Structure 1
């Protein structure tokens, strides 16, 4: 047995219709007894309905696509709207748009009366979707219209403008009851999605929890054993590599030199070979790269100092080029001190001192 509970509006209070398992339908005003499954019915004037062809991969993807469509058609900020999509079917899917504040208020009012509805369905979707034209029905005192791609509250002023000359079928009596039974059996759309989804109570199977704990402990023990074996293997391998590296390092030292610390002695010998600072080769390579990157400049002199500085004699075609060369060297990671450049015979000449930064 399912009870359809119609949320109150400005003109109407609480109303309900009860659909029995036998198919019988009866209702009344006020709040029903709470022993049945409750399905809340949102007012037609508070929900905007659309239909569109949405991705069928997952509900999250469908909602994301619906948000893009609604953002283009709605004047309200998308962050203030709650969007729900109907189930997959043939062709397009229903999209319901409702104000987040209104949705939260409905659920809060229901909770205050001890009601946690299984679903919240927009009222116009209780009517069947026609093959063509429109269907009209009055349910729980509210008139509603539904077409192939629209559904809304019946209004004596707006409905004729929307419907125009399209034929309208009025559902009454048993035909309307059949429509309600079909909506209960296969709900067309549930607004309780996303942030407003119904929370499910989960019972704890402690025996299952203990089994999971035992399995987790066994997995942890096996993982720890694997890690210990791996650490031991890496440690032995590191020792072997260190011994081999030291043996290879000894070959790089001068013949007959007493070995005390291979790393330090190799660094010392490398420094002696390449010179102080970054060494002549590295510094000169950076200077030549900067010269090539600055067209119109040429190197006329090069003097590597005992402290690792490199003194350059530079000639340039224009006054701006020595500055460009200086910036290029600084971008390469050097400190550059430029002397006074003089112009003579159409050339600008001067000196620079390049130092490791």
Structure 2
């Protein structure tokens, strides 16, 4: 398989990424974790760039509102992990660019999601705080909370918000699945079941080893999901587990500051993609459940990646944070 860089742009400390394809328009969106811009690139106009906002940043998460070009995003998640002034904003497409409204203040919320309700209209809201309070960046004595509620898009606000009866230290990872979400931290991997059939939110612990991030893919083609997990807070280890979280393999070489993680179909089978922000700072394609890999790019230190399809061809979108580079790679599955 061959990856060819076909587009790049500069954005200091680029971090959060998203692809939005709705209403006849198609954009890649990237935001910085510092007080820097958020950019949108038009996939139907040679990556023409629009500035969504100029200089706020501190963006850890962006979530598209389904079937629209509107989205929610965190801002002011800085400095570092000490972010009492973190907020969520709504960006509304006006036909040319985006108008912003502040939804509210959400201290220390690092990952969040809005989930379409299975019955009726509206969205469930999940907000995961990396800590509940901090004396300084290195203070982890007050663990984070899992906040749940509802997002009302007409009122443009979070309602009925409350914290679940659980505290998670260094809660960094979040992954929406089918009917539930994974949440990760020092205490392990947790499964958050959404309210369905009149049931309330329910969270259960699945593992007890420190996990920073998680993604799923059927990388060994056995018909079941395998899980790629970054162990420790931002690494330095990688693990692949089976569908029951039994370990299949664990990395020999260290992958310090492991961060970029994705899994899914490329061509006619599924793969993982992984990148780390220290040491070699490589971006890799993981081709088997024993962590066999192919180098995609080196010394780029990616923060987040995703694969998307356009006009019958697949591409890799990467926020190469450590070199302040926004990059798109064309994927040739025959190469």
Scaled by the length of structure 1, the TM-score of the pair is 0.21
Which has the larger share of strand?
2
Structure with max Cα Rg: 1
Scaled by the length of structure 2, the TM-score of the pair is 0.22
Which has the larger share of helix?
1
